[in-house]
Amino acid sequence: MRLNKFISESGITSRRKAEELILQGRVTVNNKTITTLAFNVDPEKDIVTLDGERIRQKKKLYFLLNKPSGYISTTDDERGRKTVLDLIPVREKLFPVGRLDADTTGVLLLTNDGDFANQLLHPRNKIIRVYEAKLDKELEEKDAERLIKGILLDKRKSKFERVYFEKPKDRTRVTVECVEGRNHFVKRMFTLLGYEVKKLNRKSFAGIEANIPVGSYRELTIAEIKKLYQHNV
């Protein structure tokens, strides 16, 4: 691991500021001053200090939240609205992996691992998101086909990977799979075809399902974390 990354992931400063500290000669590795930005360290073996104080890498945390309606997916809010962090009372600084609208419910991952989150959200990894949308009217077959083939959104062709009905007799309740992470993507796709999304629930993200009550959270299992890491190619 690069030395500047090790320092930033300890939570004491940003990666850019860590580079400045290294160049200033304030960082040592195993009692040797290091001023090379490309220097690599082994977090398990090497002892890194800043101004004589040892830097310890913080534990990486990964949480699943079954988000209820009425909470915004940010770390804080100037208007004093409730945020998803209000639902996870841990001391460590967490942030959501992507966002869900305030009125959207379901799977939301939170972590303190910035690189991990960025990789999951990168378009090249094509992470599957599964949503259930409650529409104001029945979805016509021709429109379901258009959503799969693709329609223009933001001047570019956009589509769902799959469109299907959990209960075939209820065509107002539609399940869609997509790899897009743009803001309000699912709602805007339906709006373009003349439908209003009355309710939206994210059933899964990267294969992680909301298998806990609404409003509750839990740490991801080792198996789930490994599964998510497999997407970071």
Q: Of 46, 101, 103, 115, which residue is the catalytic one?
A: 101
Please tell me whether residue 8 adopts helix, strand or coil conformation.
helix
Q: Is 227 left (phi over 0), alpha (psi -120 to 50) or beta?
A: alpha
User: Using the 8-state DSSP alphabet, how is residue 10 labeled?
Assistant: T
Residue 101 designated active-site? yes
Closest CA to 68 of 172, 217, 218: 217
Closest CA to 84 of 216, 75, 48, 230: 75
Structure tokens at 33: 């001053």
Closest CA to 175 of 201, 153, 149, 194: 201
Report yes or no: 23 and 37 within 8 Å, Cβ to Cβ: yes
Tell me the C-alpha to C-alpha distance, in Å, between residue 18 and each of 21, 48, 120, 130. Answer: 5, 12, 24, 39
Strands 95-96 and 173-178: unpaired
The residues that are catalytic are: 101
